[in-house]
Amino acid sequence: MLEIPELRQEPCTKRWVIISPQRAKRPHSWGKEEGEKLQLPEWDASCPFCPGNEAQTPPEILSLKDEKGWRVRVIPNKYPALSPSEEPIQFEEKDPFVWLTGKGRHEVVIESPIHNNTWGNMGVRQMEDVIFSFLERYRALRDDKRVKYICIFRNHGERAGTSIIHPHSQIIATPIVPEQVRAEVEEARRYYDDRLRCAYCDVARKEREEGKRLIMESEHYFVFAPFASRMPFEVWVIPKRHNPSFDYISREEEKDLALVLENLFRAFYEGLSDPHYNVVFHSAPLRDSCEDYYHWHIEVLPRLTVQAGFELGTGIYINTVYPEEAAEYLRKYIKS
Amino acid sequence: MLEIPELRQEPCTKRWVIISPQRAKRPHSWGKEEGEKLQLPEWDASCPFCPGNEAQTPPEILSLKDEKGWRVRVIPNKYPALSPSEEPIQFEEKDPFVWLTGKGRHEVVIESPIHNNTWGNMGVRQMEDVIFSFLERYRALRDDKRVKYICIFRNHGERAGTSIIHPHSQIIATPIVPEQVRAEVEEARRYYDDRLRCAYCDVARKEREEGKRLIMESEHYFVFAPFASRMPFEVWVIPKRHNPSFDYISREEEKDLALVLENLFRAFYEGLSDPHYNVVFHSAPLRDSCEDYYHWHIEVLPRLTVQAGFELGTGIYINTVYPEEAAEYLRKYIKS
C-alpha cells in the first residue's frame, strides 16, 4: 500500500493533482459510510417529472413512447441558466468589462417514468433510450448556428448539485466556447503537435497495457480510473475509435455505450452504495475543427469529498484514494 | 431588477460565468435560510485545537503568546497533503505519465484559543495576530528553495470542506506552480502587454468609479463583488498599491488588512448568518518575477450553492445572484 503523497500530472490536460492517501478512509469503507440507497417510491404524486404531472413541466421537445406511455421526455428547463430567446445575442463592452445577453438552451432529459430509477438500476434498455435522446438533442442543437458548445451532464444527489430525485440529465448549449474547454482542446493540440498522436488515444492504450487502473473494456470503449484522478473513484470512459465529437458515434458505438454505462453505474451503485456524482460528456466545440487531436469522452466525478479552498484557489485537487486502488475495488462489481 | 441571464467575463482571468437570477432565491432570503450561527461552547474538551490539548497536535512551529497563554499557534498538519520530508524531490516519468514524490509543507494556523471564535466575531486584535502569523510563515516558507508556490486558505463550515470547527486556516507550500496560478499570471501578463497597465489595478479603479459593486474602501484596500462573480456573494479584497506578493506588504497595509477583514467577515456573519465559505490568498509564484503585471489579492468564495456537472465540465459557474445586488446587501452590514 503506497503511503507517500504523490503529485501527478494528467497527460491530456496537464492538470496536477495531489494523491494523499494518509488523509483517506480505506476504499473498502466508502461503500458503507457514503451514500445510502434511498428507499424511494416508484411514483411520487408531488414529483413534477412523474407520469401524470406532465402539465407541470414546459411542453416537451422530444419524447420516446410506446403503448405503455413515455419512456424518456426531453423538456426545456423551467428555470433555465440561459434564455432560449430567439433574439440575436448582444455583445456589450465597457472597458475593461465584456458581457453577453445570456442566450442559449437549457434542456432536461427525464430519463425514465419511474421515480426511483437511476443509472445504477435502470437496466440496459432504458440506458439505450437515454443515450439515444442525448444524441438526438445534440444533433438538433448543433444546427443552431449561435450555439458554440454543448454540454451534457448529470448531477446525481445533493452533494452533486441536484435537488430533484427523479432520474434526469441536463443539456446546456452555450453561445461561447468555455475557456476550460478551450484549454483542454489546446493541450490536446500541443500534445498532437509534439508527437503526431492523440493524447487520449495514447493514454487509453497505456491504461490498457498497464491494466492496474483499467476497470473494464468493451468492444468500443475503455473504462479506467485516470492516472491523475482528481477525486476518489473518478472514472473516464474513452471510445477506442479516435473521434472528436460525441454525435459522430456509430449505431454500434451507441448500443455499446449503453452496455458500458449500465455496467459501470451498477458497479457504483452496488460498490459505493449509490454515491453522489457528476457525469460530464466532453466533446469538441461545434464550429472548431479539431479532428486530429481531440477525442470525445465521458468523465465521472463522484462527490465523496468536498472541494475546499486549496482546490478552488490552485486548481490542484487533493485526492485521498489512489486510482489503482479505486479501479481494483470497482472491478469487483463489474459484470463480465 | 435584472432578470435576463448574462454571460460575463472576468477581465483579469478571462473566465466566463453565467449570472442567472431566475434560479435564485432573492438576496434578502439568504441570511435567513443559509448557515445558522452555531451555538458553540468557548472551550471543548474533545477539540484538539483547544487550550489544554496541545499535546494532541504536532509540536508548534510558531506561537504568539502573552501572560494569559497562546493567542495563535501554527503547527504542521497531522495529516498533511504533502510530506514535509527533507529528502530531494524525485521527478518520475513513464511516458505519457509524469509524477513527483509529494513533498512540501502543510501547516495549520490555529487562529484563537477560543473554540467558538471565527473571523466573523473574533475582533480586530485577534485578526491582526492571524495576519501576522500568515506573514511570518509565508516569509519563512519562501526561504525553502524547493517551494514554488504558497497557498494560504481558510475553509469555514462543512460545505467549504472543513470538519474541525475550531478557528483555523491552512498553508500549503507546493514544489510546483499550480497550472491555474500559471494561467492567472499569464492572463495578467497578456493584459499588461496589451495596455502597459495591471489588470487588477484597472478593475479596482473601475469598481471604485462605478461604485455599484463596491462593498467598502479602506486606506489601503478595495473590497468589491467582482463583475463576473462565480458564486453568490463572492468578494475580492484588492490592495490599492500594485504589489505582486502578499509578503511584500507594509506594516500599515498589514494593520489595515486586519481592519478590513474583520469588518467584511462580521458583515458576512451578520448579514448571511455565518455562511460557509473559502478564503484564498492569491499571490505570485515565488521564483517567477512578475512584478509589473501580477497583483496579490484575496478571494472569498461563499459556499451557498453547489458546483455541479456543468461547472466541473466547462469551468463556467452558474451564479444566481447579481454581484450588484450582493454588494448592495453586504454594504448594509459594513461599519463605516
Q: pLDDT for A168-191, tens place per residue?
A: 999 999 999 999 999 999 999 999
Write the residue in B14, B101, B153 that is nearest to A4 by C-beta.
B101
Q: What is the mean pLDDT of chain B?
A: 94
In chain B, the N- to C-terminal Cα span, in Å, equals 27
Helices (H), B38-151: 123-142
Give the model's pLDDT for residue A23: 62
pLDDT tens-digit map of B140-165: 999 999 999 999 999 999 999 998 99
Closest residue in B to A315 (Cα) is B180
Interface touch A18/B203, C-beta < 8 Å: no
- Residues of chain B contacting A178 with CB distance shorter than 8 Å: 16, 314-316
Q: Determine whether A168 is an active site residue.
A: yes
Interface touch B174/A314, C-beta < 8 Å: yes
Closest residue in B to A162 (Cα) is B308
Write the residue in B5, B14, B313 that is nearest to A102 by C-beta.
B5
Write the residue in A4, A151, A183 that is nearest to B310 by C-beta.
A151
Whether residue A283 is contained in a domain is answered as: yes
What would the mean pLDDT of A55-74 be, rounded to a whole number? Answer: 97
CA distance A114 to chain B (A): 23
C-alpha to C-alpha distances, A176 to A243, A291, B8, B218, nearest whole angstrom: 22, 19, 11, 37
Interface touch A312/B82, C-beta < 8 Å: no
Whether residue B1 is contained in a domain is answered as: no
pLDDT band at A97 (very low <50, low <70, confident <90, very high): very high
Give me the CATH number covering residue B40.
Answer: 3.30.428.10
- Residues of chain B contacting A160 with CB distance shorter than 8 Å: 306, 308-309
The rounded distance, in Å, linking the Cα atoms of B77 and B84 is: 10
Which range of residues forms the domain containing residue B83? 6-331
Asked if A176 has any chain B CB less than 8 Å from its own CB, the reply is yes
**Which helix H or strand E contains B71, and what residues bound it?**
strand B69-76
Closest residue in B to A8 (Cα) is B99
CA distance A275 to chain B (A): 14
Respond yes or no on whether ipTM tops 0.90: yes
Closest residue in A to B307 (Cα) is A161
Q: Is the pLDDT of residue A30 over 70?
A: no
Interface touch A199/B96, C-beta < 8 Å: yes
What amino acid positions of B are annotated as catalytic residues?
A: 168
pLDDT band at A39 (very low <50, low <70, confident <90, very high): confident
Asked if B203 has any chain A CB less than 8 Å from its own CB, the reply is yes
Whether residue B336 is contained in a domain is answered as: no
Single out the catalytic residue among A115, A156, A168, A276.
Answer: A168
Interface touch B155/A299, C-beta < 8 Å: no
**Per-residue cell: B147:** 517551494
The rounded distance, in Å, linking the Cα atoms of B271 and B198 is: 33
Give residue A238's identity as a one-letter amino acid code. I
**Per-residue cell: A301:** 466525478
Asked if B188 has any chain A CB less than 8 Å from its own CB, the reply is no
Interface touch A101/B4, C-beta < 8 Å: yes
- Residues of chain A contacting B179 with CB distance shorter than 8 Å: 14-16, 315
Q: What is the mean pLDDT of chain A?
A: 94
If we measure between CA atoms, which residue out of A231, A228, A252 comes closest to residue A240? A252
Give chain B's domain count.
Answer: 1
Interface touch B9/A151, C-beta < 8 Å: no
Question: How crowded is residue B68: how many other Cβ atoms within 10 Å of its Cβ?
Answer: 8
- Residues of chain B contacting A154 with CB distance shorter than 8 Å: 309
Q: Do the Cβ atoms of A52 and A115 come closer than 8 Å?
A: no
Q: Do the Cβ atoms of B203 and B195 come closer than 8 Å?
A: no
Asked if A91 has any chain B CB less than 8 Å from its own CB, the reply is no
In chain A, the N- to C-terminal Cα span, in Å, equals 27
Whether residue A244 is contained in a domain is answered as: yes
| Residue owning grid cell 484522478 | A229
- Residues of chain A contacting B81 with CB distance shorter than 8 Å: 5, 18, 20, 23, 310, 318
Closest residue in A to B171 (Cα) is A310
Q: Is the pLDDT of residue A302 over 50?
A: yes
Asked if A316 has any chain B CB less than 8 Å from its own CB, the reply is yes
Write the residue in B7, B162, B175 that is nearest to A99 by C-beta.
B7
Residues of chain A with pLDDT > 90, as a percent, come to 89
**Per-residue cell: A306:** 468536498
What is the bridge-based pairing of β-strands B105-110 and B168-174? antiparallel
Which residues in chain A (243-302) have CB-CB distances under 8 A to chain B?
A: 278-282, 299, 301
Interface touch B16/A227, C-beta < 8 Å: no
The rounded distance, in Å, linking the Cα atoms of A32 and B277 is: 29
Interface touch B81/A23, C-beta < 8 Å: yes
Asked if B160 has any chain A CB less than 8 Å from its own CB, the reply is yes
pLDDT band at A1 (very low <50, low <70, confident <90, very high): very low
CA distance B115 to chain A (A): 21
Asked if A47 has any chain B CB less than 8 Å from its own CB, the reply is no
Interface touch B176/A16, C-beta < 8 Å: yes
Asked if A2 has any chain B CB less than 8 Å from its own CB, the reply is no
A to B CB pairs, distance under 8 Å: 224
Give the model's pLDDT for residue A15: 96
Asked if A201 has any chain B CB less than 8 Å from its own CB, the reply is no
Which residues in chain A (118-147) have CB-CB distances under 8 A to chain B?
A: none
Give the model's pLDDT for residue B4: 80
Kindly write down the DSSP assignment for every residue of B77-92, as one continuous string. Answer: -SS-SSB---SPPPEE
Asked if A97 has any chain B CB less than 8 Å from its own CB, the reply is yes
- Residues of chain A contacting B79 with CB distance shorter than 8 Å: 22-23
Give the model's pLDDT for residue B163: 85
CA distance B101 to chain A (A): 5
- Residue ranges of chain B with per-residue pLDDT less than 50: 1-2
Which residues in chain A (54-83) have CB-CB distances under 8 A to chain B?
A: 79-83
**Per-residue cell: B59:** 509540536
pLDDT tens-digit map of B236-280: 999 999 999 999 999 999 999 999 999 999 999 999 999 999 999
CA distance B161 to chain A (A): 5
Give the model's pLDDT for residue A2: 46
- Residues of chain B contacting A98 with CB distance shorter than 8 Å: 8-9, 11
Strands (E), chain A: 6-9, 16-19, 62-66, 69-76, 91-94, 97-101, 105-110, 149-156, 168-174, 214-217, 221-224, 235-239, 277-282, 297-302, 317-319
